[in-house]
Amino acid sequence: MAELDKKDEPARNAVDETPNVTAVNTVEARSEAEAVVALDAPVDRGEPILQVRNLVKHFPLTQGILFKRQVGAVKAVDGISFDLYQGETLGIVGESGCGKSTVAKLLMMLERATAGEVFYKGQDITKLSGRALKAVRRNIQMVFQDPYTSLNPRMTVGDIIGETFEIHPEVAPKGDRRRKVQELLDVVGLNPEYINRYPHQFSGGQRQRIGIARGLALNPEIIICDEPVSALDVSVQAQVINLMEKLQDEFDLSYVFIAHDLSIVRHISDRVGVMYLGKMVEIGSDEEIYDHPTHPYTQALLSAVPVPDPEAREGRERIILSGDVPSPANPPSGCRFRTRCWKAQDKCATEVPLLAVPERFKDTDSPVAHESACHFAEEKDVVHAA
Amino acid sequence: MTTTAKTADVPAPRQDGDFEGPLLEVRDLHVEFVTRDGVAKAVNGVNYTVGAGETLAVLGESGSGKSVTAQAIMGILDMPPGRIPKGEIFFRGQDMLKMSNEERRRIRGRKIAMIFQDALSSLNPVLSVGYQLGEMFRVHQGLSKKDARARAIELMDRVRIPAAKERVGDYPHQFSGGMRQRIMIAMALALEPDLIIADEPTTALDVTVQAQVMDLLAELQREYNMGLILITHDLGVVADVADKIAVMYAGRIVETAPVHELYKRPAHPYTQGLLDSIPRLDQKGQELYAIKGLPPNLTRIPSGCAFNPRCPKAQDVCRTDVPQLYPVTERDGAELAGRGSACHFWKETIHG
Nearest C-alpha in A relative to B249: A235
The pLDDT of residue A16 is 41
Q: Is the pLDDT of residue B53 over 70?
A: yes
- Grouping H, G, I as helix, E, B as strand and the rest as coil, residue A56 is strand
* Segment B199-237, tens digit of pLDDT: 888 877 777 778 888 888 888 888 888 899 999 888 877
Nearest C-alpha in A relative to B208: A304
Asked whether B190 and B114 are in contact (CB, 8 A), the reply is no
Nearest C-alpha in B relative to A249: B285
- Grouping H, G, I as helix, E, B as strand and the rest as coil, residue B294 is coil
Q: A66 Cβ partners below 8 Å, 6+ apart?
A: none
Q: Is the pLDDT of residue A40 over 50?
A: no
Beta-carbon separation of B240 and A313 below 8 A: yes
Residues of A in contact with B214 (CB under 8 A): 306
Q: Given the DSSP bridges, would you call strands A69-85 and A222-226 parallel, antiparallel or unpaired?
A: unpaired
Beta-carbon separation of B239 and A267 below 8 A: no
Asked whether B176 and B120 are in contact (CB, 8 A), the reply is no
Residues B51-58: what's their mean pLDDT?
90
CA distance A271 to chain B (A): 13
Q: Is the pLDDT of residue B5 over 60?
A: no
Residues of A in contact with B239 (CB under 8 A): 306-310, 313
Band of the pLDDT at A256, cuts 50, 70, 90?
very high
CA distance A180 to chain B (A): 25
Mutate to test the interface with A, among B37, B67, B175, B207 (most CBs of A within 10 A): B207
Residues B116-136: what's their mean pLDDT?
87
The pLDDT of residue A322 is 77
The pLDDT of residue A141 is 92
- Kindly report whether the global pTM for this prediction surpasses the value 0.80: no
Alpha-carbon distance of B264 to A361, in angstroms, equals 40
- From A242, A262, A304, residue closest to B287, measured CB to CB: A242
Nearest C-alpha in B relative to A28: B285
- From B206, B212, B239, residue closest to A320, measured CB to CB: B212
Residues A128-155: what's their mean pLDDT?
88
Compute the count of residue pairs across chains A and B with CB atoms less than 8 Å apart: 122
Beta-carbon separation of B277 and A235 below 8 A: yes
Band of the pLDDT at A155, cuts 50, 70, 90?
very high
Beta-carbon separation of B207 and A306 below 8 A: yes
Residues of B in contact with A205 (CB under 8 A): 294
Residues of A in contact with B61 (CB under 8 A): 233-235
Beta-carbon separation of A308 and B277 below 8 A: no
Mean pLDDT estimate for chain A = 81
B22 vs B6: which has the higher pLDDT: B22
User: What is the Cα Rg of chain A in Å?
Assistant: 22
- The DSSP string of A327-380 is PTTSPPSSSTTGGG-SS--HHHHHSPPPSB--GGGTT--STT-SEE--TT----
- Grouping H, G, I as helix, E, B as strand and the rest as coil, residue B73 is helix
Beta-carbon separation of B274 and A235 below 8 A: yes
The pLDDT of residue B241 is 82
Q: Which residues of A202-229 are buried (b: 16+ CB within 10 A; e: fewer)?
A: bbbbbbbbbbbbbbbbbebbbbbbbbbb
Nearest C-alpha in B relative to A96: B206
The pLDDT of residue A23 is 41
Beta-carbon separation of A310 and B260 below 8 A: yes
Other CB atoms closer than 10 Å to residue A302's CB: what's the count? 23
Beta-carbon separation of B285 and A28 below 8 A: yes
Q: Is the pLDDT of residue B117 over 60?
A: yes
The pLDDT of residue A273 is 93
∠B184-B185-B189 over CA atoms, to 5°?
120
Distance of CA A21 to the CA centre of its chain: 26
Mutate to test the interface with B, among A93, A267, A381 (most CBs of B within 10 A): A267
Residues of B in contact with A266 (CB under 8 A): 279, 281, 284
Alpha-carbon distance of A313 to A335, in angstroms, equals 30
CA distance A176 to chain B (A): 31
* Segment B231-255, tens digit of pLDDT: 988 887 787 788 899 999 999 999 9
Band of the pLDDT at A65, cuts 50, 70, 90?
confident
Mutate to test the interface with B, among A89, A303, A324 (most CBs of B within 10 A): A324
Residues of A in contact with B176 (CB under 8 A): 324-325
- From A23, A308, A309, residue closest to B287, measured CB to CB: A23
Other CB atoms closer than 10 Å to residue B314's CB: what's the count? 19
Q: Which superfamily, per CATH, for A47-63+72-269?
A: P-loop containing nucleotide triphosphate hydrolases (3.40.50.300)
Nearest Cα neighbor of A233 from B229, B235, B285 is: B235
Asked whether A295 and A343 are in contact (CB, 8 A), the reply is no
Q: Is the pLDDT of residue B9 over 50?
A: no
Band of the pLDDT at B10, cuts 50, 70, 90?
very low
B335 vs A180: which has the higher pLDDT: A180
* Segment B274-329, tens digit of pLDDT: 888 887 766 676 778 888 888 888 888 888 898 998 888 888 888 888 888 888 88
The pLDDT of residue A356 is 86
The pLDDT of residue B99 is 87
* Segment A282-304, tens digit of pLDDT: 999 988 888 888 999 998 888 88
The ipTM value here is: 0.73
Give bridge partners of residue A292 from the DSSP assignment. none
Distance of CA B212 to the CA centre of its chain: 19
Q: If you count them, how many residues does chain B have?
A: 352
> What domains are there in chain B, each with its CATH number?
24-242 (3.40.50.300), 248-280+289-351 (no CATH)
Beta-carbon separation of B212 and A237 below 8 A: no
A10 vs A87: which has the higher pLDDT: A87
Least confident of A16-30, A63-77, A201-215: A16-30
Q: Is the pLDDT of residue A339 over 80?
A: yes
Beta-carbon separation of A267 and B283 below 8 A: yes
Beta-carbon separation of A234 and B235 below 8 A: yes
Beta-carbon separation of A324 and B259 below 8 A: no
